[in-house]
Amino acid sequence: MSADPTLNGNWHYPTPIRFGAGRLAELAGACAVLGITRPLLVTDRGLAALPITARALAVLESAGLGVAVFSGVDPNPDENNLVEGLQAYADGGHDGVVAFGGGSALDLGKSVAFMAGQVRPVWDFEDVDDWWSRADADAIAPIIAVPTTAGTGSEVGRAAVLTHPRTHEKKIIFHPKMLPGIVIADPELTVGMPPWVTAGTGMDAFAHCLEAWCSPHYHPMSQGIALEGMRLVNDWLPVAYERGDDLNARAHLLAAAGMGATAFQKGLGAIHAVSHPIGAVHGTHHGTTNAVVMQAVLDFNRPAIEERMQAAARYLGIADGFDGFRARVGELNEQLGIPATLAALGVVDPDLDALTAAALRDPSVGGNPLPMTPDNTRALLQACLG
């Protein structure tokens, strides 16, 4: 009997993760393990002035590693941010990056480390076919990732999202060595997140797990991780939203974020294909946008995922199968103060034809359970607008 040709895939798992409250104290030791003597800490403008960043810099300074910071990271980082970060890296004679912050800072920090020794433009390394092999792998600087939000899971990812400043498209830049050499996942760093950031980043992690669970590709290890990741978010995100200083809730969400990014090597789908162009053009928060479109995408994919969602609902303790799961997403969004539609999120006068075309160019399309076409994708966008 011949093998089923769909039972085929390339599987990769994360890097060393130092997980737990207080582990930020190990930052200098992590630099030593990776041979970093002059780290550049890359973070965003808002985070740069906060006490947690000062704590990280104090750990580095006490070990004689300096206090160099680049904080020119926008909420949706673009090529201009990258150019400025690369200049700071070169000017300081740095030999590694500490990517510190939420998904935007982690992605840009990884991009700076990746591009510091390259001679080709960053867009030559978009996640298309084997374009990653164009890079000089030996010139990629070592990376330590320190997440301060629990959402994107970029700390365990081999890619970064950058917005093209001219086309306003989000592009995925990929290389296996963009995976950080060490992750420090300290839930104490996530305690200061405002409730709306807790909500949006938590639902981002949920979206990663959900889309991985629904992806048609074969990856049973990621399938299991996705299922448990959904359970952790479902159980603990409302707690963290209501009681931001609950370290147990923060820890479970930080774990779920890494789990989601590990699981989605199995595939993403229409949630991200729609969310990426909306965020790039209209400047919406990525995780919040994912949450807004989630129920419409569940409806869109229902013919292909109904049985699978019944299994997920049982594991999460949700009654009524697909309908119960869909309703639970709505309950979470309402409880977390997430708008019900893209229009309520602030998406005004969208160019549906342009957004449809951009969604269909997004790599996430390939992991959707049902084929996405110009007609059904435009209808999906219209449903998301409300």
pLDDT in tens, 178-235: 999 999 999 999 998 899 999 999 999 999 999 999 999 999 999 999 999 999 999 9
Q: Does 12 have pLDDT greater than 90? A: no
Q: Does 1 have pLDDT greater than 90? A: no
Q: What average pLDDT does the segment 366-383 reach?
A: 98
At residue 201, the pLDDT reads 96
Burial state string for 224-241 with b = 16 or more CB within 10 A and e = fewer than 16: ebbbbbbbbbbebbbebb
CB distance 116 to 15 below 8 Å: no
Q: What average pLDDT does the segment 95-121 reach?
A: 97
At residue 166, the pLDDT reads 86
Q: What average pLDDT does the segment 244-268 reach?
A: 95
Distances (CA, A) of 237 to 90, 212, 334, 374: 40, 19, 13, 35
At residue 169, the pLDDT reads 84
- The first and second tokens of residue 369, run together, are 């359970």
Q: Does 11 have pLDDT greater than 80? A: no
Q: What pLDDT band is residue 329 in, cutting at 50, 70 and 90?
A: very high
Q: What pLDDT band is residue 14 in, cutting at 50, 70 and 90?
A: confident
CA angle, 92 as apex, 90 and 98 as ends, to 5°? 90
pTM above 0.85, yes or no: yes
Phi, psi (deg, nearest 5) at residue 18:
-100, 100
CB distance 221 to 57 below 8 Å: no
At residue 170, the pLDDT reads 84
**Location of each CATH 1.20.1090.10 domain in the chain:** 195-385
Residue partners of 298: CB distance under 8 A and separation at least 6: 305, 309, 322, 325, 326, 329
At residue 45, the pLDDT reads 93
> How far is Cα 66 from Cα 38, in angstroms, rounded to an integer?
7
DSSP 8-state symbol, 340: S
CATH class of 195-385: mainly alpha
Average pLDDT of every residue of the chain: 95
Q: What pLDDT band is residue 6 in, cutting at 50, 70 and 90?
A: confident
At residue 192, the pLDDT reads 85
Q: What average pLDDT does the segment 20-24 reach?
A: 94
Q: CB-side exposure of 272: number of CA atoms within 13 Å?
A: 29
Judge residue 293's burial from the number of C-beta atoms within 10 Å of its C-beta, 0-12 exposed, 13-18 middle, 19 or more buried. buried
CATH code of 17-190, in short, is 3.40.50.1970
**Helix, strand, or coil (residue 171):** strand
Q: What pLDDT band is residue 242 in, cutting at 50, 70 and 90?
A: very high
At residue 13, the pLDDT reads 79
Q: Does 258 have pLDDT greater than 90? A: yes
Q: What average pLDDT does the segment 92-110 reach?
A: 97
**Location of each CATH 3.40.50.1970 domain in the chain:** 17-190
- Kind of pairing between the strands at 143-147 and 182-185: parallel
Q: What pLDDT band is residue 246 in, cutting at 50, 70 and 90?
A: very high
Q: Give the residue from 265, 306, 300, 321 showing the smallest Cα distance to 378.
A: 300
